[in-house]
């Protein structure tokens, strides 16, 4: 096992070195983060800036810009390496926690590290992960914060990491509600208070910018990017493309987003109470990504734990078709085929039917995952109700036939 871990670590170092080199990606999102950190250091208007050459604006909460100051304080090559190392460690953490869950559910005593090290290396080739690394995005470590908090942290500080992650990317905020619906009130309070602390830090360092962000900019999804763009796999993005309308009816998209979030929470609550918090976490993440106005394909790094859930299902239940479903789902998530469809300039509104199908694959899989997760609970509920009804009718028949214990006692 040590040899496997050593080899995978060395290969990981090579991947980081390759991506961080001048021949690697431009890591354009990292440049935006550095722009945000630089704006704070120099007192510039954070939300009025645009990255030269791309026009990209800073779209995160003010607190995140505080975290990005170290990236701005060092040369770009150093920032590139630091970003990739942090993401690589977070990726291994995601994979390792997923492997631990799978091995535990399957009753295996194999050392998790034997699988997590090579699988983390393989995972770098998956579209959401690879795009996160190429852009210098924060998705992997914000996801890792949430997963560690929900699955590992116990005691008085549980929920704090969820609040911090929400202060960086708001999409994590649904986990605060998850703590509430599962009656983890201290964790919910910690998450909410730590989120408020991030907001307070933002106001302390950038009062005007914070006011603008929380009162206006947060409600403008167009500022984050084109809603119709092929890699936006949220309900809003899918609705815009399917209806061929760059601004689909708000009543429709907000209603569907609310339904997705509530449904995810309801089903996740059942899994949590049934002793499966891992699946519950994946469901909340899926509902959150669907409900968020913008969910770029690289945000879907949650595919790693979700595939772990599907692997357990296929292994426990058996059947070739379940393995086929797992394989097809993995291939679709890995390929990220929507990124190869005609895009930009509202060309998404003129896709053919086959192109529409490919473009909305992540969205369709997310909806299917929620429905698939709810079906066993529905069957269990129906079975329980039918059993209760049969027992009730049996008691009625016993009373009517005089064969119940009470009737026998009365006859004596």
Find the helix or strand (DSSP H, E) in which 140 lies. helix 139-151
CA distance 241 to 55: 24
Q: How far is CA 199 from CA 38, 195, 206, 331, in A?
A: 19, 6, 10, 39
Task: Determine the 3-state secondary structure of 18 from DSSP.
Answer: helix
User: pTM for the whole thing?
Assistant: 0.88
DSSP state of 398: H
DSSP state of 56: P
Q: pLDDT tens track of the chain, all 412 residues? A: 667 766 677 777 777 777 777 767 789 999 999 999 999 999 999 999 999 988 899 999 999 999 999 999 999 999 999 999 999 999 999 999 999 999 999 999 888 988 998 899 999 999 999 999 999 999 999 999 999 999 999 989 999 999 999 999 999 999 999 999 999 999 999 999 999 999 999 999 999 999 999 999 999 888 888 899 999 999 999 999 999 999 999 999 999 999 999 999 999 999 999 999 999 999 999 999 999 999 999 999 999 999 999 999 999 998 899 999 999 999 999 999 999 999 988 999 999 999 999 999 999 999 999 999 998 876 655 444 444 445 554 554 555 565 544 444 444 4
């Amino acid at each position: 096992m040590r040899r496997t871990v050593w080899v995978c670590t060395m290969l990981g170092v090579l991947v980081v070195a390759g991506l961080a080199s001048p021949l690697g990606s431009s890591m354009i999102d990292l440049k935006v983060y550095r722009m945000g950190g630089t704006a704070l250091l120099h007192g510039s208007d954070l939300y009025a800036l645009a990255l030269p050459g791309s026009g990209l604006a800073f779209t995160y909460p003010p607190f995140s810009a505080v975290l990005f100051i170290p990236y701005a304080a060092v040369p770009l090559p150093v920032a590139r390496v630091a970003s990739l190392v942090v993401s690589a460690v977070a990726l291994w953490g995601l994979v390792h926690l997923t492997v631990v869950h799978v091995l535990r559910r399957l009753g295996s005593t194999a050392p998790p590290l034997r699988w997590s090290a090579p699988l983390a290396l393989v995972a770098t080739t998956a579209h959401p992960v690879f795009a996160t690394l190429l852009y210098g995005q924060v998705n992997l470590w914000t996801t890792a914060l949430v997963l560690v908090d929900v699955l590992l942290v116990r005691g008085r500080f549980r929920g704090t990491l969820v609040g911090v992650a929400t202060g960086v990317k708001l999409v994590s905020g649904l986990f605060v509600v998850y703590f509430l619906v599962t009656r983890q009130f201290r964790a919910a309070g910690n998450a909410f208070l730590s989120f408020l602390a991030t907001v307070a830090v933002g106001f302390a360092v950038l009062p005007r910018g914070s006011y603008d962000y929380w009162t206006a900019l947060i409600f403008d999804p167009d500022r984050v990017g084109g809603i119709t763009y092929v890699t936006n796999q949220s309900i809003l993005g899918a609705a815009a493309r399917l209806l061929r309308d760059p601004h689909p009816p708000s009543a429709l998209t907000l209603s569907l987003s609310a339904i997705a979030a509530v449904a995810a929470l309801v089903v996740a609550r059942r899994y949590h109470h049934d002793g499966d918090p891992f699946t519950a976490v994946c469901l909340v993440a899926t509902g959150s990504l669907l409900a968020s106005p913008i969910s770029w394909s690289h945000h879907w790094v949650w595919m790693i734990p979700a595939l772990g859930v599907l692997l357990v299902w296929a292994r426990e239940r058996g059947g070739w078709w379940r393995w086929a479903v797992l394989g097809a789902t993995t291939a679709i998530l890995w390929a990220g085929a929507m990124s190869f469809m005609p895009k930009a300039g509202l060309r998404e509104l003129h896709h053919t039917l086959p192109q529409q199908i490919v473009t909305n694959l992540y969205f369709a899989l997310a909806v299917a995952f929620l429905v698939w997760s709810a079906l066993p609970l529905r069957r269990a509920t129906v079975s329980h109700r039918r059993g209760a009804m049969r027992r009730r009718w049996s008691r009625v028949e016993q009373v009517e036939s005089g064969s119940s214990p009470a009737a026998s006692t009365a006859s004596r």
